[in-house]
A and B are shown apart, each in its own frame.
Chain A
Amino acid sequence: MGSWKVRWGINRMEYKVAPGLYGIGEPGEDSPVLVTANYKMTFDRLRKELSGVNAWVLVINTRGINVWCSAGKGTFNATEIARVIAMTNLSWVVSHRTLVLPQLSAVGVAAHRLLKISGFRVIYGPVRACDLPKFLGAGMKASPQMRRVNFGFADRLVLIPIELVRVIKIVIAAYLVIFILNLLKIWSVSYLATLPYLGAVVAGCVLTPALLPWIPGRSFAWKGWLLGLLWSTAVILYSFPAVPSGWTKALVYLLILPALSSYLAVNFTGSSTFTSLSGVKRELKVALPAAIISAGLGVVLLFLNQFVL
């Protein structure tokens, strides 16, 4: 329930663990020390995966944010780890001088600097907590599989809600506006006529992420545009004979729907684990103006069609 709420962006801030040293099983002075973020979901996962192992868990203060994001933001860093090492008197608790860090924290931690300021040597562990028992069992050796970041179907599915929550708020606001316009008889819009737009939103934020590797091309904006185009074609084929003002309406759909899907799809780069900053910048340089111009023309045409023609 807790993790469900966190994924949907509800009360994200309440899910913190107090920084400090925690024991799992019956750890002694030879037991390994694993460092992690004070995000409750991360901590609980770690504890679950380590059941049956004797180990220390050093929780540092990342302000309740997970390993990857806090390392990227700079809160998961060598200075903070050294601070908690000192705070917990770790050098008295264990006889060795080795810390196991999650591999993804490497973005924020300079291992050679941590060694210099704390005397503890860093070994980067596996990317996923579920590989930890195997890693520890193999004498702290990670296989190439343990080091690789995957972005499989399941990984992508759990990230879709994050995007969706952002968009749903805007969708609800749009429906409120339509409702008020209808109520005040300023402009009557049938709810049925909004379905093509809703479909484009789904194509951009749900279908594109889910089907990512199977959509041709490399750019996210392009993949989203392609699915949006497929959806508009379906809408046009379905509704063409019934719509009297056929051609203009079809053009409106072709200008707005793929642009909308494309924009939403490119936002999924924030959740992906393989897009580079330079790459996203390059995509946006083309995709953003293109989407704005295309959708803008579509909206103009829609108004002309509605009020002038």
Chain B
Amino acid sequence: MKYLKNVVTLDLDEEKCTGCGICAEVCPHQVFKIINKKAAIQDRDSCMECGACAINCPFSAISVAAGAGCAQAIIKGKLGKGEICC
């Protein structure tokens, strides 16, 4: 199942990447692939912006605006209430 196209905020700085492979290991949707000792984004639209790759990259090569893709939390947030997801 795929979600909307071309919306996610995932970004990879190849300069900083050492190809350690942690990002590919932790991603639940196989967004990364290690090609020639560098991480590459191979399936951007499958990213759910969980943030696992970014927090686990030891070289801060990944940035993503992480958060729960949850309508309830966003609506409650707009109404000024705390989020209630999960």
Q: Which A residues form the contact surface with B (CB < 8 A)?
A: 65-66, 68-69, 72-73, 103-104, 106-112, 124, 127, 142, 144, 147-149, 151, 212-213, 218-220, 266-267, 269-270, 272-284, 288
Contact = CB atoms under 8 A, between A and B. Distances in A.
Nearest to A287: B71
B63 interface: no
Given A112-B56, A218-B5, A277-B65, A269 B29 contact: no
Contacts of B1: 151, 212-213, 274
Contacts of B47: 276
Given A68-B86, A124-B26, A273-B28, A280 B69 contact: yes
Contacts of B30: 144, 147-148
B72 A110 contact: no
B57 to A, nearest CB: 8
Contacts of B56: 106, 109-112
Interface of B: 1-5, 7-9, 22, 25-30, 46-52, 55-56, 58, 65-75, 85-86
A123 to B, nearest CB: 9
Given A269-B69, A270-B72, A279 B3 contact: yes
Given A68-B86, A277-B66, 5 more contacts: A65-B86, A148-B30, A218-B4, A267-B71, A279-B69
A72 B68 contact: yes
Contact of B75 (A65, A147, A284): A284
A69 B7 contact: no
B3 A218 contact: yes
B66 to A, nearest CB: 7
Contacts of B74: 277, 280-281, 284
A270 B70 contact: yes
Given A212-B1, A218-B5, A270 B71 contact: yes
A281 B75 CA distance: 9
Contacts of B51: 107
A105 to B, nearest CB: 9
Contact of A275 (B3, B22, B55): B3
Nearest to B53: A106
Contacts of A280: 69-71, 74
